[in-house]
Amino acid sequence: MKLGLAFCLFFALNSIAIADPEWRTSLSLGVEPKYGDNFTHYDYVNVNAPKGGTFNDSRTGTFNSFNPYIVTGTPAAGFSSRGGGEQYDTLMAPSTEETSVNYPLIAEAAQYPDDFSWVKFRLNKKARWHDGRPITAGDVVWSFNVLKSNSPFFNNYYHSVKKAEKTGEHEVTFLFEEKGNRELPYVMGQMPVLPQHWWEGTDATGKKRDITAPTLEIPLGSGPYEVESFIAGKSITWKRVENYWAADLPVNRGRFNFDKEHYSYFLDPNAAWEAFKKGNLVDWNLENRIQRWNQSYDFPAVKNGQVIRRSFAFHGSGRMQGFFINTRRPQFADRRVRQALNLAFDFESLNKSLFFNDYHRISSYFDGLDLAAKGLPQGKELEILETVKDEVPAEVFTTPFSNPVYDKPDSSRRYLTEAMRLLNEAGWHLEQNRLVNKKGEVFTLEVMLSDMAFERATAPFIANLQRLGIDASMRVVDASQYQNREANFDFDLVIKVIGQSDSPGNEQLEYWGSKAADRPGSYNVAGIKNPAVDKLIERVIYAKDREELVAATRALDRVLLWNYYVIPQWYAEHLNIAYWDKFGIPEPQPEASGVDIPSWWVKNDKN
């Protein structure tokens, strides 16, 4: 099982090529890779970890497909829509110990010129599919074309890649539309590679396979695991590939130790929690409810030491978590309305009454990183913002962004009064204690939730909105309905988390870019269509060095914040994890990813 982080994107390598580009065995984004040519394994892993046992995990909702690279269908656990997952290896593997570093996997080395106009990958001749056939340059070219044609995510992610072509028996070159995009070599290094011969073949009934359609036929893969069995929509079991071609590569030694990984599906998170407490069916729980972490781990298995609770340091990425506002809806089109909603959110009372003061308020789209906007714009950041001065709120240049702080007895009255003033300016007024517009239409707002646990944290926000005369409510829907409604933008507000790397780039187009706003299934759930944001994203992507990247990202952050597309929530600086005492865990676990489950193993006296 691979725990991914947010996409890592601004590209730099160990040294600068001058004439003929040299082959590189690592790709990094602005930092010196920890490991060089003598890389044999990650320092933290146990290379002698025993193989065996089963790792039992849970998912909510259901699944109906083993094809994660199309819009239709819900892929099963283990199939990743962005990377390789358990089934497919990628050209290079993201480091578990470092942010924004790739090491060899299918590709043993990479090469690119000073102007970043292309990147070439040299494939490992030992790379094999599970049927024993070699992974070829043709597979890589075919995969690129298929992913870009059929996956909205990859189509947007690879929009600056002109073409892929076979340039040698074991070499593939990606040509870029423009020069100077330092991230693209790194981005292409994380591309999953699919088996052309299998997908273009026929199934057991003689029917030709279709990469553009959902399927429950177990596909051919190249990764550390393959599907052993499944019950459609209910469970899936993966088994370790005994003759996995890459088992002894440095990125894999001491990892992928479980013989099997079993995922059970539950209707909702509470059912999964109950299954975890009973044991056998679910082995671990990544606890995202601080109240439960502090108050509900008193069941017998915890008291007698069968279940272990630990907090793992996690400093590998930034994030934005909050109520994402669907600006496609007319009542949220005005920035003043969105600002009023933000003023109505009382984080401090929540933190005290529900969160044990363990959380911090998010105040940036890159919270936790040095990319977060601070104070007033200066230097290079100010210079960049001047290019969009007429397209952004004036406050961008005059006022440091801050969330409301409910720390005084009169805070609620003060902030709600200000919120009402903004709503009045935007054309809304109170009529018989209801907020209406000039047409007499009532301002309605529904927060769509996927888990009843969010109700307690959302209820005070709803109450404040109702005090403003808004017909506000919250609604919990099942996982399948939630996924479908979010994908089709059928909501007012949803809670969402967007992870960020310390080297942002192309993925920002997917998160905030205008072209992604109306594409079903995109990550731009807020529906942002802002020319200034689009221009600043381009400045991030084409930043010439780290200094410019930081300045451009802070400028983007500042403009997003002052447009109030999201009502920021909270974050913790660690991962709270409980697990049944059946695992050996190498220490310390890498802080870049928090934990690396593939480095765990089942102890010999456990099953």
- Between 29 and 128, where is the model more confident? 128
What are 330-347's pLDDT values in tens digits?
Answer: 999 999 999 999 999 999
Residue 65 DSSP class: B
Indicate the pLDDT class of residue 317, thresholds 50, 70 and 90.
confident
pLDDT class for 11, splitting at 50, 70, 90? very low
- Secondary structure, 3-state, 124-175: CCCCECCCCCECCHHHHHHHHHHHHHHCHHHHHHCCCEEEEEEEECCEEEEE
Q: Which helix (H) or strand (E) holds 336?
A: helix 335-343
SS (H, E, C) 191-213: CECCCHHHHCCECCCCCECCCCC
What is the token pair recorded at 73? 């269908």
Give the integer Cα–Cα distance in Å for 13 and 339: 42
Number of CB atoms found within 10 A of residue 493's CB: 26
Enumerate residues 6+ apart whose C-beta is below 8 A from 394.
Answer: none
User: Which span out of 81-95, 250-264, 309-323 was modeled with the highest average pLDDT?
Assistant: 250-264
Q: Is the pLDDT higher at 479 or at 245?
A: 245
Query: Considering the entire predicted model, what is its pTM?
Result: 0.83
In order of start, what are the domains of the chain with their CATH numbers?
A: 27-44+60-200 (3.40.190.10), 318-571 (3.10.105.10)
Tens-place pLDDT, residues 46-59: 999 999 999 999 99
Predicted pLDDT of residue 316: 64
Rounded Cα–Cα distance for residues 217 and 195 (Å): 14
Residue 570's CB: how many other CB atoms inside 10 A?
Answer: 18
Distance CA 215, CA 263 (A): 19
- Interstrand relation of 471-476 and 444-449 (parallel, antiparallel or unpaired): parallel
Answer yes or no: is pLDDT of 13 > 90.
no
588 prior amide bond cis, ω within 30: yes
User: pLDDT tens digits for 183-234?
Assistant: 999 999 999 999 999 999 999 999 999 999 999 999 999 999 999 999 999 9
Mean pLDDT across the chain: 93
